[in-house]
Amino acid sequence: MHTVLLDGTQKEDLAQAAHLLRIGEPVAFPTDTVYGLGANAQDEAAVQKIYDAKGRPSDKPLILLIHNKAQLTQFTNAVSDAAQKLMDAFWPGPLTLVFPLLEDTVSTAVTRGKTTIGVRMPNHAVALALLELANVPIAAPSANLSGNPSPTTAAQVAADLDGRIAAIVTGSICNIGEASTIVDVCGDVPVILRQGAISAMQLEEVLGIPIKAVNA
């Protein structure tokens, strides 16, 4: 496979990247945290290409990236008060929230048998524009070979995935350079599943209650 470089600041290139996503090809693109490797979350074959390109363990589910909060209703009807507070405070931004998933909204290849879904709205102009243009749900883990450091530049993505994916979108830097914090908001009390760019203290300040980590 030949991997093309597309300029995320150019409308024509961004439209090409969106087209590739719609037809089931994986595309790497910058976000506020690290580069993501996106694919159409409703296309099982497209999602499998993410796992194949990354060498990702088959039991690890993927998260969804959205371009506006209204999209969330496509995937869940269970947004708790705590979840709403966190969304209001940190979206768009480096926070992934795990919700109960509505049936038949994404491929089972995304969830890997789970009944929940992680969702994030990135704070990055290129990512948001691409997600809106694609107009399909996008599953997107980090754009690296599994086990390697998460990339923050197109060159780092190419070092791992050149020849393994359809395209790499260039653009402004991933200014945070650290993975998102993941919080499960399915239950009565939110639980941190992965520590990341947003600290437990920041979450507690918004929620007004102590918050536990799954490994604490």
User: Any idea where the domains of the chain sit in the sequence?
Assistant: 4-213
**107 has pLDDT over 90:** yes
**160 has pLDDT over 90:** yes
Task: Work out the pLDDT band at 212, boundaries 50, 70, 90.
Answer: confident
- The pairs formed by 66-70 with CB atoms below 8 angstroms and a separation of 24 or more are 66/119, 66/120, 66/121, 66/131, 66/137, 67/121, 67/127, 67/128, 67/129, 67/131, 67/132, 68/121, 68/132, 69/121
User: Coil, helix or strand for 89?
Assistant: helix
**47 has pLDDT over 90:** yes
Residue of 48, 165, 23, 37 whose CA lies nearest to 109: 48
> What's the pLDDT at 173?
83
**216 has pLDDT over 60:** no
> What's the pLDDT at 7?
96
CA–CA gap between residue 172 and residue 31 (Å, rounded): 9
Task: Work out the pLDDT band at 32, boundaries 50, 70, 90.
Answer: very high
Min mean pLDDT across 7-16, 37-46, 151-160, 173-182 is at: 173-182
pTM, two decimals, is: 0.95
Superfamily of domain 4-213 in CATH is: DHBP synthase (3.90.870.10)
Residues with Cβ within 8 Å of 51's Cβ and at least 6 positions away in sequence, in order, are: 58, 109
**76 has pLDDT over 70:** yes
